Amino acid sequence: MKMLIIPVLCMWAFSVNSQTQTYEIRTEILKWPDGKKAAISLTYDDGTLNQFRVALPIMEEFGMRGTFYINTGEIPGQKNEAKFLGRSPEVIIKETVNVPTNEENLFERAGLIRFLDMPNAVSFHDRAGATYEQGRKENAYKIIDEGFAQARSLNVSRLTPPKIIDGPMLDWDELRKFAEGGHEFGVHTISHPRLAVLDKENLIYELEKCAEDIERELGKKYLFSAECPFGTENERVMEYALEMFPATRNRMPEDFLEEFNRSASFDASMDHGKEYIQWQRGPLSKTSPELMRSWVDDILTRDDTWLVLVFHGIEGIGWEAIPEERIRSYFEYIASKSSEVWVGTFAEVTKYIRQRMASQVEMEVSPEYIKVNLTTELDPFWYEQPLTLKTYFPHSWDKVKAVQDNREFDLQLQEDASGKFVQYTYLSNKGSLVLKGF
């Protein structure tokens, strides 16, 4: 009897009819569930109405589940409203008369301006934030100065929560039903600010209070992943966000993962030297169906790629709204590749690849059975994703049963150049699985 730890490759010898036969017994965790070639996650930002009224029913028709990053500030029944935290607005506005915006006061002023009760208040904030993230700081300062000049000319001092979503929003009861149906929800802040130009107090408030509402209404497990608005990769923002949540769609700084964000080009023919690739694409209203389908075709030329699709508006509601007909056609195309593509939520795919990379496989081998156990230091509260295992067994076995967690089932025997094997689902955190040979 032998106990092995991954990489699992053991030789097992025993005597049958006075002759010694040697078999290679090994277990591996497959790169993707059920031995598929690639993964796709369908993700949505902002939580606008037709994401749920139009896109979600189409996904469910094809057996798919999505990830929805929601802004909680405008959901009926929310407890935490967007607000500006800091010094008196009157004092800040008065200072702008004589003190131009600079590196020392940008975050305070950029945080305040979006709350001023005047036309284009949010636009001043958003444009300054985008310009700042592009490294054009002086231009960002000028935009903020223009905004405060307008505020002074209009004699504005009253604050009002920024309006970011047009049209009605679903309430928590409806969102809860979708969560119970297997869809993922994640943090997208209260009110969709440019976090890179907020000071720490306001940045943390936007993330924490959004998370607080989601946890209260949907449960803690929906705090697994977040998306900081505008796809920011600002280092300061990422430091805070990755401390607060197990994963963000913005950045996944894993040694084994190569990331290509929505603005990056990806050559499917290149060897990138990592175990996994995450490739983000953001279909826009003008994105052709042919280009969208080509993304799926490209990932199927490899065995290591996770395509993360980022949708916003659907059927006339939201930013860059995509027509219902195009969404239906695209999801139907993805479904036609279901034998090769796993469609999982952002959390499910993240958990699978992290668990695979962090798990050790232990095997206890005898002539009658193989006991397989996975061990990992990952937090079992978050990391409960089932994994697909492949185990090679003795040639003398004609049947194989699997037993785990009080469930017993027959496995289909398969064979390749390395020998006979079975492929099966291992339930994480449910103890050892035993393969019984007959």
Within this chain, do residues 199 and 145 fall inside the same structural domain, yes or no? Answer: no
Mark which of 338, 371, 396 sits at the end of a domain: 338
Q: Decide if 313 contacts 50 (C-beta within 8 A).
A: yes
Within this chain, do residues 61 and 134 fall inside the same structural domain, yes or no? Answer: no
Structure tokens belonging to residue 126: 């958003």
Q: Looking at residue 167, what is its pLDDT?
A: 85
- Whether the per-residue pLDDT at 11 is higher than 80: the answer is no
pLDDT tier for residue 10 given thresholds of 50, 70 and 90: very low
Domain count, the chain: 3
Instruction: Give the type of residue at 89.
Output: P
Q: Which residue has the higher pLDDT, 74 or 18?
A: 74
Distances (CA, A) of 263 to 5, 69, 438: 41, 20, 55
- Whether the per-residue pLDDT at 22 is higher than 70: the answer is no
Q: 373 - beta bridge partners?
A: 362
Match 């280092």 to its residue by tokens. Answer: 235
For residue 252, is it within any domain?
yes
For the stretch 391-404, pLDDT in tens is 999 989 999 999 99
Neighbours of 128 (CB within 10 A): 30
Distances (CA, A) of 41 to 33, 65, 256, 261: 14, 8, 19, 14
Q: What SS3 class is residue 73? A: coil
Q: Which residue has the higher pLDDT, 406 or 1?
A: 406
Task: Give the rounded percent of residues in the chain with a pLDDT score beyond 90.
Answer: 92
Q: Looking at residue 21, what is its pLDDT?
A: 52
Q: 341 - beta bridge partners?
A: 38
CA distance 4 to 7: 8
| Phi-psi region at 87: left, alpha or beta (left = phi > 0; alpha = psi -120 to 50) | beta
Q: Measured on CA atoms in the order 299, 303, 304, 306, is the torsion positive or negative?
A: positive
For residue 267, is it within any domain?
yes
Within this chain, do residues 408 and 300 fall inside the same structural domain, yes or no? Answer: no
Mark which of 153, 176, 209 sits at the end of a domain: 153
For residue 243, is it within any domain?
yes
- Whether the per-residue pLDDT at 245 is higher than 70: the answer is yes
For the stretch 94-135, pLDDT in tens is 999 999 999 999 999 999 999 999 999 999 999 999 999 999
Within this chain, do residues 365 and 223 fall inside the same structural domain, yes or no? Answer: no
For residue 345, is it within any domain?
no
Distances (CA, A) of 71 to 187, 189, 226, 248, 387: 7, 5, 11, 15, 32
Q: Looking at residue 3, what is its pLDDT?
A: 39
State the average pLDDT for the chain: 94
For residue 83, is it within any domain?
no
Mark which of 153, 184, 207 sits at the end of a domain: 153
Q: Looking at residue 164, what is its pLDDT?
A: 87
For Cα atoms 381, 384, 390, give the angle at the middle one, nearest 5 degrees.
155
Within 209-253, strands assigned E span 225-226, 247-248
Q: Which domain holds residue 396?
A: 3-34+356-437
CA distance 251 to 226: 10
Q: Measured on CA atoms in the order 416, 421, 425, 431, is the torsion positive or negative?
A: negative
Query: What is the rounded average pLDDT of the residues 294-319?
Result: 97
For residue 158, is it within any domain?
no
- Whether the per-residue pLDDT at 348 is higher than 90: the answer is yes
Q: Looking at residue 7, what is its pLDDT?
A: 38
Residue 27, domain CATH: 2.60.40
For the stretch 323-337, pLDDT in tens is 999 999 999 999 999
For the stretch 167-224, pLDDT in tens is 889 999 999 999 999 999 999 999 999 999 999 999 999 999 999 999 999 999 999 9
Within this chain, do residues 265 and 119 fall inside the same structural domain, yes or no? Answer: no
CA dihedral angle for residue 306, residue 225, residue 335, residue 50, rounded to 10 degrees: -130
Structure tokens belonging to residue 248: 């963000």
- Whether the per-residue pLDDT at 29 is higher than 50: the answer is yes
Question: Starting at the edge strand that comes first in sequence, how are the strands of the sheet with 400-404 ordered?
Answer: 3-5, 360-365, 369-375, 433-437, 400-404, 407-410
For residue 161, is it within any domain?
no
Beta-carbon-side half-sphere exposure of residue 129 (alpha carbons within 13 Å): 29
For residue 346, is it within any domain?
no
CA 342 to chain CA centroid, nearest Å: 14
Within this chain, do residues 239 and 135 fall inside the same structural domain, yes or no? Answer: no
N-term to C-term CA, the chain: 18
Query: What is the rounded average pLDDT of the residues 28-45?
Result: 98
Main-chain phi, psi angles of 319, to 5 degrees? -65, 135
Q: Decide if 256 contacts 304 (C-beta within 8 A).
A: no
pLDDT tier for residue 23 given thresholds of 50, 70 and 90: low
Residue 243, domain CATH: 3.20.20.370
- Whether the per-residue pLDDT at 50 is higher than 70: the answer is yes
Within this chain, do residues 7 and 60 fall inside the same structural domain, yes or no? Answer: no
Q: Looking at residue 2, what is its pLDDT?
A: 39
Q: 409 - beta bridge partners?
A: 402
**How do 369-375 and 305-311 pair as beta strands?**
unpaired
CA 396 to chain CA centroid, nearest Å: 44
- Whether the per-residue pLDDT at 75 is higher than 60: the answer is yes
CA distance 295 to 298: 5
Q: Looking at residue 24, what is its pLDDT?
A: 83
Query: What is the rounded average pLDDT of the residues 154-172?
Result: 92
Within this chain, do residues 331 and 360 fall inside the same structural domain, yes or no? Answer: no
Within this chain, do residues 294 and 207 fall inside the same structural domain, yes or no? Answer: yes
Within this chain, do residues 362 and 416 fall inside the same structural domain, yes or no? Answer: yes
Within this chain, do residues 185 and 272 fall inside the same structural domain, yes or no? Answer: yes
Within this chain, do residues 412 and 288 fall inside the same structural domain, yes or no? Answer: no
